Structure 1
Amino acid sequence: MSSKEETSLDSAPKNGAAAGAPEEQRLIQVHLRKIPLLAELDDAEISKVKGELRIRQYHKRDVVLHKGGSGDGLLFLLVGQLQVIDVTEDGRAIGLRMLHPGDFFGEIALINNSTRSASVVAMTEVLVAFLPAATAMHLFSHSPSIANYMLRHLAQKIQRDSEFRALLSINNAARRIYTYLALMQQKQPTPQPGAPIVLENLPTHQDIANMINTSRETVTRALLTLAQNGIVQKDAHRLIIKNPEALKKLVQGS
């Protein structure tokens, strides 16, 4: 995101206030067009959605959604990064997945008319758009493109959760880390033959540790081993998988 966009978005209203200024409205409409769920809506439908939105800004480590809260709306991440977390009975925070601009969340509690099943925490400064339940449910029932997208999304979510449960069942912590990277790799666009695979916006070592039930030190050691063996290369907030086949063999335990 450019510094100009950051400056403009910083002027957006805080803590749930409705966006009012023309420039703020224009910026919001631009961001809405980047949300895959809304991509096929026409201009009139987008304008209607925009008129119902409430824009909220949160600081790093703020809780955006609380587990057990009411499913009173659908939320869209416009700027920044969020993490979905759950808390075990012994009080440990377990990271479930990361959310990036264009993602939406809160749909399960909304559809089920139930309470939130997990919490969502800001990993950076974030800008979130809140769409009230009545408007969101109207879109689900009256927009074929949104209904179809939501069905695909829920099917993918079931598959992802199944993969994650299988990952957590692996006893060896290093193999869990390798498997986690392999799952992230599968979600990337298919590169040209022989080209490395780049994992953008890699979570911190602590966040990865929380997600796969191990320690930050174990994650650091595993990534260092991969780098020393020429399998990966760490580059700022991304990881370059230089040898996907070697990573696959480690996942398989060979």
Structure 2
Amino acid sequence: MYLERVDLFAGLNDTQVKTLKERSRIRSFAANTIVVNEGDEGSSLFVVQSGSLKAFLTDNSGREVTLSLLDPGDYFGELALLDDSPRSASVIAVTRSEVLQIPRTAFLGLIESDPTCMQTVVRNLVARIRLLTDNVRALALVDVFGRISRLFETMAVERDGITLIDRRLTQQDLANMVGASREMVNRILRDLVAGGYIEIEQQRIILCKKLPQSW
């Protein structure tokens, strides 16, 4: 299980982590299955064990904004451990996925038996909130090119000496992730390809050299 790698629980000892595992369960979801719906009652944290999921928001017109792409070791629904407010976003399984579901009751039981856990989790949660604040700042204050550049930087990995985004992403996927139109993303990608900054092969983006400071 990936529970030991979840930064929210960094600092918990082996016994505390074991207690959480024993009170949790594995759930499987087929591709294109909604795991949680925005507005639903929240009572669990989920840790991705396998597959790929997407957290997103939609408005009344059906327009979608992707908040994050979730891979093994990532987690979502952490606020449900601390309050009983409705879910703030929806999550869908992009591929067949397994998640570890940790009920709020399991977490609260751990806190009651060992109150020192609360300080650890709250400290880690604050770090998570700071990261989300940085993401919101980027959406509000950085132009579309800057948001794409930042996204590439955070998602890029090295594979056999090649820097790439190791995930198939359509232009609409990218648009949803940076809060822009597909047409604007298309124009930026075309210019980056023409300038030799990136190559696109089977919806995978290869970063050939450092992106320019501006578009």
TM-score interval for Structure 1 and Structure 2 normalised by the shorter chain: 0.7 to 0.9
- Structure 1, unaligned runs of 5 or more: 1-27, 171-175
Aligned length: 208
Residue 181, structure 1, aligned to residue 141, structure 2: no
> Please, which of 197, 202, 210 is the counterpart of residue 231 of structure 1?
197
SS in 2 for 1:209: helix
Alignment-derived partner of residue 116 in structure 2? 142
- Pairwise mapping of residues 23-38 of structure 1 onto structure 2 (< 5 A)? 28=1, 31-38=2-9
State the match for 1:5 in structure 2. Answer: none
Correspondence 1:1-254 to 2 at 5 A: 28=1, 31-137=2-108, 142-143=116-117, 144-167=119-142, 170=143, 176=144, 178-187=145-154, 197-201=163-167, 203-211=169-177, 212-215=179-182, 218-236=184-202, 238-246=204-212, 248-250=213-215
- Summarize deviations over 1:126-176 as a string: whole Å, max 9, x none: 111111112234557532443322211111112212212335xx4xxxxx2
Report the secondary structure of 1:64's partner residue: strand
Equivalent position SS for 1:187 = helix
**Contact 2:35/2:91 (8 A) holds in 1:** yes
Cα deviation code 1:87-138 (max 9, x no counterpart): 1122222222222221111123443421011111111111111111122345
More strand by share: 2
Stretches of 4+ aligned residues off by more than 6 angstroms: none
Question: What's the TM-score once normalised by structure 2's chain length?
Answer: 0.81
Gaps of 5+ in 2: none
Residue 182 of structure 1 aligns with an amino acid whose one-letter code is S
Query: Which stretch has the larger CA shift, 51-60 or 179-188?
Result: 179-188
Question: How big is each residue's C-alpha offset from its partner over 1:14-63, in whole Å with a ceiling of 9 and x where there is no partner?
Answer: xxxxxxxxxxxxxx3xx323333335433222221111112111111110
Alpha-carbon distance in structure 1 between the residues aligned to 2:54 and 2:29: 13
Give the % identical residues: 25
Question: Bigger relative contact order, structure 1 or 2, given CA contacts below 8 A and separation 6+?
Answer: 2
